[in-house]
Amino acid sequence: MVAATGMSLIMASVEPGGLGGTFGGNPVACAAALAVLQVFEEDDPLSRANAIGGRVMAAMREIQENHPDVIGDVRGRGPMTAMELVEDPESRAPDKERAAKVAENALQSGLMLLTAGQYGNMIRTLMPFPITHDELEEGLSILARAMAETASHP
């Protein structure tokens, strides 16, 4: 015997096997959903994301000002930001090799970066919300140095 909860008109309209699943409303899933809502109410992760994103965007724009010949664009939202590396600012041809070198230089200093984008010429960041101010600043400093090393030695 199968037990279901819902309006009989709706429940009777579904073919056998068409309605079911234990993942949607089980107690563990409900507890997880309530915990997520509690975090949003108490910790305000959206404000944290905006604060991190603002700092990262400012740092990347500063790097862009220091290297306008190799950084075509800086864009993003919240902690997910990216710098577009180009061969020159006029053609804006993607510079995949330079992006890989920046990521490699950063890794040598302890910072893992992602290269991304259709042409592999983007340096992308996505740091976790619990990152401390000091950790964020250290990472941004490593990124700036890796970019400077790569810009001066293509």
Per-residue pLDDT of the chain (154 residues; tens, 9 = 90+): 455 566 777 777 777 766 666 666 678 888 998 999 998 899 888 899 999 999 999 999 999 999 999 999 999 999 999 999 999 888 889 999 999 999 999 999 999 999 999 999 999 999 988 899 999 999 999 999 999 999 776 5
pLDDT at 1: 44
Output the pLDDT for position 16.
72
CA angle at 113 for the pair 127 and 102, rounded to the nearest 5°:
140
The predicted structure's pLDDT at residue 89: 80
> Reduced to 3 states, what is the DSSP secondary structure of residue 65?
helix
Alpha-carbon distance 125 to 79, whole Å?
7
Q: What angle do CA 94, 99, 104 make, to 5 degrees?
A: 165
- C-alpha span between 136 and 116 (Å, rounded): 21
For residues 73 and 64, give the distance between their C-alpha atoms in angstroms, rounded to a whole number.
Answer: 8
| Per-residue pLDDT, 5 | 61
Which residues are CB-contacts of 81 (< 8 A; sequence separation ≥ 6)? Answer: 53, 56, 57, 60, 74, 75, 124, 125
Residue whose pair of structure tokens reads 């740091």 in the numeric block: 127
Question: What are the chain's domains?
Answer: 45-152 (3.90.1150.10)
Picking from 83, 74, 79, 52, the residue whose alpha carbon sits closest to that of residue 147 is 83
Looking at the DSSP bridge assignments, the partners of residue 126 are 80
